[in-house]
Structure 1
């Protein structure tokens, strides 16, 4: 593996993705930020990466579109070198509320981004990493996968359950190729992800630690899983959720 890690972070422009991008830069990674629509936010995050002395490229991408994913990784390789790390983070919640009231198109889009998008990015990453001596993938899951999110977004929880299964299965498939695959399952985190901006505050009393988490607390876990300190860790879903 080359001396400087090159890591692709999908959904890297805001929230947890932005925190991950900044933390990886601090820990010595060159970063490729994949973003869906907010170019200004992506560039702001890129500036934080460069401020840490690392190289950064931003790429507009719909991770559910195969051609976009190929272009994302092609650009990464051309601009920064062989990709050694992938953080599958791009996600959407889809409809919020009981399943009986959810619209099919919203659920379809959520499954495409949260499951197919992860599969397409992981597939390309594995191809590149196999050719270049190995690497590491971290999938961003959610404690929703085990809690089920009743009354909020059961379809999203189901998608994250698929992410956990992807993590376990792929880790076994590519371990002999020098590729580690793990996941981080955040609990309730203070980001713009929530339809109700005050949701993290409202849910704090139901969390054993009594508070919602910060994006930086997820970023630390991701950086560890990508690091040599986690060299014997694969197929693991690490909950970072305040005890939920």
Structure 2
């Protein structure tokens, strides 16, 4: 792998210490971005991703920031610019499934945290990204990709995951609205909706394994397959693509 190419700028990938986020961070580093590997708690995992990227000739730095904490997000963008250069790509990947329970068994505090991480957090990150990328703010444009889920439309009725599916639906709606708002300012905004992907979360879920078996392709997806889609969306090859939600689900 070649080292980071000049002029690509910085790519911030939230929730990048493992799973889909880690695969995205490694792929964007391969593409030539200086990558901010964001994490909230798993410092060891984030540093492992950074080491992998650096060993392959790329540039990366691990930055702790809880996307649900606005001050953390502001600090993350500041460090990205200081250490990796102008922010030209943001991947809102950090998220939580929340408490798996029927809505009549949910606690308000748990629902609030779910919304803060899965919806408000990406919005705050996007606000900073627009301020950094928009030609109206002196930037040179860029790309935002929000990681949603087919849960928003394909499996919203799985018991206990209705609030989670709702947040992912909100993220797709946010994607489409924001894309129209900032398209004239050189920013493209898209979302990716994965199906069942091989991560620590899904490997422990019988429902996920059952869903994978029922997909037309008949297997579970890999994090690298989601990462390849994100890589394409932020690249010049997708220069006429904005406001789209790309499904990566094996046909579900």
Normalised-by-shorter TM-score class:
over 0.9
| 1:46 and 2:46 correspond | no
Q: Which residue in the other structure is 1:3 paired with?
A: 7
- After superposition, the C-alpha distances for 1:174-206 in whole angstroms (9 at most, x for unaligned) are 000000000000001111224835554332222
Q: Which of 100, 105, 112 is the aligned partner of 1:96?
A: 100
Q: Which residue in the other structure is 2:153 paired with?
A: 146
Whether the 8 Å CA contact 2:34–2:60 is kept in 1: the answer is yes
Gaps of 5+ in 2: 1-5
Structure 2 matches for 1:21-60, cutoff 5 A?
21-60=25-64
**TM-score calculated relative to the size of structure 2:** 0.92
Whether the 8 Å CA contact 1:99–1:151 is kept in 2: the answer is no
Q: Which of 122, 125, 134 is the aligned partner of 2:141?
A: 134
| 1:78 and 2:82 correspond | yes
Whether the 8 Å CA contact 1:201–1:211 is kept in 2: the answer is no
1:165 Cα shift?
0.6
**TM-score calculated relative to the size of structure 1:** 0.95
Aligned partner of residue 53 in structure 1, secondary structure:
coil
Q: Which of 150, 169, 174 is the aligned partner of 2:177?
A: 169
Q: Which runs of 4 or more aligned residues in structure 1 lie more than 6 Å from their structure 2 counterparts after TM superposition?
A: none
Note closer, same or farther for the CA distance 1:234–1:104 as it changes in structure 2 (3 Å cut).
Answer: same
Q: Which residue in the other structure is 1:187 paired with?
A: 195
Q: CA RMSD in A?
A: 1.4
- Aligned length in residues: 243
Gaps of 5+ in 1: none
1:96 Cα shift?
1.1
Structure 2 matches for 1:201-220, cutoff 5 A?
201-220=209-228
Whether the 8 Å CA contact 2:213–2:220 is kept in 1: the answer is no
